[in-house]
């Protein structure tokens, strides 16, 4: 994996041990923590990796460095999956100059107690490694306040931090010419397709709230002639840059493709039967959709499809005169991510007083969603005459 070009070396790692990222998001295909060396007269290391991988990381560094040392550590992002070996780098090469920005340095001190031989760069400032120049651009709130990106002008390479990243460990080569998604067979030239679902899930789960600042960063970087993107997660993008930029652009504009994300949760199966009736009605009409049982599935996948599709239909029974909690959690999650531009409808059963449909509609209204139906709130057992999913499917078809 090591060599990306003569001057850029990959020293990152695959994490196949962690099953839940950030304590919330499943990792069925693992995740990579990417770190890069830029080697010239001076050597710069761009970001580190997660603390559990110190031994492999140091092995990778020694392999590429030989007897050379790291002169600069560039800290594009302080989240601990990338910063937690800063102390190890400083212990190994005590003279290393740590480069961040005004927002990075207090975090380095707070997390790792390091405040000496650190430098805060400003927007557009550069350092020279010899024939190679690294220039820094601030990308605040993509997705932390201190995030910045590093531009290697001579190789038209963007070290982008989390931006343009994806879940999924990388199999084979690290560049998208030969990379595959670990555990998936189709890697021959179809790297973007292989990673696409995991990229949308990564974006929606981790970055989703920050569409406006992602757009600002993309606008700022649009004048760069980018030939290679080295993000902190997933493949190095060379062949599929237009697809990757387009994916992040669409997601950060909250633009959904035609289709429906059905989410539901059910205590005794009545709201579930309604959800499945809607799914069947949409299938009959040839409408692309997904269906997520939030009692049994992780909400991570529902967020992915809420960002993917332009229509969300949520089903929850009334519980404590409120929305059944798994669906409340989903509605809260899309609200926290400031999701916009969606058609919306809701449904759900109740026994003695219905509240969930009204409350889900109120949450959707606060997001400015287009509420396409007053909702289907039905008493006790599900039946098609109490909850007409064929009519709702027709209504969905009419707005898609
Ligand atoms: Fe991969 Fe925001 O850290």
Q: Which atom from ligand 1 is nearest to the alpha carbon of 144?
A: 2
- 1: pLDDT strictly greater than 80: no
Ligand 1: which residue has its CA nearest to atom 2?
79
How much distance in Å is there from the Cα of 81 to the middle of ligand 1? 6
Which tokens sit at 338? 């400031």
The total of other beta-carbon atoms located within 10 Å of residue 398's CB is 8
Among 389, 153, 362, 381, CA closest to 283: 389
pLDDT for the residue 188: 61
Ligand 1: which residue has its CA nearest to atom 3?
79
How much distance in Å is there from the Cα of 27 to the middle of ligand 1? 14
Q: Which atom from ligand 1 is nearest to the alpha carbon of 233?
A: 1
- 186: pLDDT strictly greater than 70: no
Which tokens sit at 131? 């024939």
Give the up-direction half-sphere exposure of residue 282: CA atoms within 13 A in the CB hemisphere.
24
- 181: pLDDT strictly greater than 90: no
Which tokens sit at 141? 């709130």
How do residues 262-315 score in pLDDT, each as one tens digit? 999 999 999 999 999 999 999 999 999 999 999 999 999 999 999 999 999 999
How much distance in Å is there from the Cα of 164 to the middle of ligand 1? 11
pTM: 0.95
Rounded Cα distance, 32 and 74, in Å: 19
177: pLDDT confidence band, cut at 50, 70 and 90? confident
Name the helix (H) or strand (E) containing 170.
Answer: strand 170-172
- 184: pLDDT strictly greater than 90: no
Tell which phi-psi region holds residue 321, choosing left (phi > 0), alpha (psi between -120 and 50) or beta: left
Rounded Cα distance, 268 and 239, in Å: 49
Ligand 1 environment, Cβ below 6 A? 77, 79, 81-82, 143, 162, 232-233
Among 166, 173, 157, 277, CA closest to 228: 157
Rounded Cα distance, 105 and 243, in Å: 34
Name the helix (H) or strand (E) containing 287.
Answer: none
| DSSP output for 58-97 | HHHHHHHHTT----EEE-S--SHHHHTTHHHHHHHSTTPE
How much distance in Å is there from the Cα of 158 to the middle of ligand 1? 16
Domains and CATH numbers, the chain: 8-252 (3.60.15.10), 257-399 (3.40.50.360)
How much distance in Å is there from the Cα of 235 to the middle of ligand 1? 15
Q: Which atom from ligand 1 is nearest to the alpha carbon of 232?
A: 1
The residue behind tokens 């295909």 is 29
């Amino acid at each position: 994996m090591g060599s990306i070009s003569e001057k850029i070396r990959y020293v990152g790692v695959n994490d196949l041990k962690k099953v839940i990222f950030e304590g919330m998001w499943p990792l069925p295909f693992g995740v990579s923590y990417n770190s890069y060396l830029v080697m010239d007269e001076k050597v710069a290391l761009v970001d580190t990796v997660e603390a559990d991988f110190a031994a492999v990381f140091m092995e990778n560094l020694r392999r590429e460095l030989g007897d050379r040392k790291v002169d600069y550590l560039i800290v594009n992002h302080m989240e601990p999956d990338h910063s937690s070996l800063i102390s190890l780098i400083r212990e190994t090469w005590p003279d290393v100059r740590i480069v961040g920005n005004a927002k990075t340095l207090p975090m380095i001190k707070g997390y790792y107690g390091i405040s000496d031989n650190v430098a805060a760069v400003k927007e557009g400032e550069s350092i020279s490694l010899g024939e190679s120049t690294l220039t820094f651009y601030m990308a605040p709130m993509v997705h932390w306040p201190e995030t910045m990106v590093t531009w290697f002008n001579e190789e038209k390479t963007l070290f982008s931090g989390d931006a343009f990243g994806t879940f999924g460990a990388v199999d084979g080569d690290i560049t998208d010419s030969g990379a595959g998604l670990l555990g998936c067979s189709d890697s021959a030239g179809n790297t973007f397709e292989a990673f696409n679902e995991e990229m949308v899930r990564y974006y929606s789960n981790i970055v989703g709230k920050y569409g406006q600042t992602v757009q600002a960063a993309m606008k700022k970087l649009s004048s760069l002639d980018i030939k290679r993107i080295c993000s902190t997660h997933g493949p190095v993008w060379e062949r599929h840059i237009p697809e990757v930029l387009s994916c992040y652009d669409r997601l950060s504009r909250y633009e959904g493709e035609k289709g429906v994300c059905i989410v539901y949760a059910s205590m005794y199966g009545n709201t579930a039967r309604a959800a499945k009736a809607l799914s069947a009605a949409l299938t009959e009409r040839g409408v692309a959709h997904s269906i997520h049982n939030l009692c049994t599935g992780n909400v991570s996948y529902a967020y992915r499809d809420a960002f993917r599709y332009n229509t969300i239909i949520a089903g929850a029974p009334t519980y404590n005169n409120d929305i059944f909690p798994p669906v409340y959690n989903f509605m809260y999650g899309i609200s926290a991510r400031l999701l916009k531009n969606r058609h919306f409808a809701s449904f759900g059963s109740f026994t003695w007083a219905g509240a969930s449909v009204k409350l889900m509609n109120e949450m959707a209204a606060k997001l400015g969603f287009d509420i396409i139906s007053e909702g289907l709130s039905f008493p006790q057992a599900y039946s098609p005459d109490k909850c007409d999913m064929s009519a709702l499917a027709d209504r969905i078809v009419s707005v898609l």
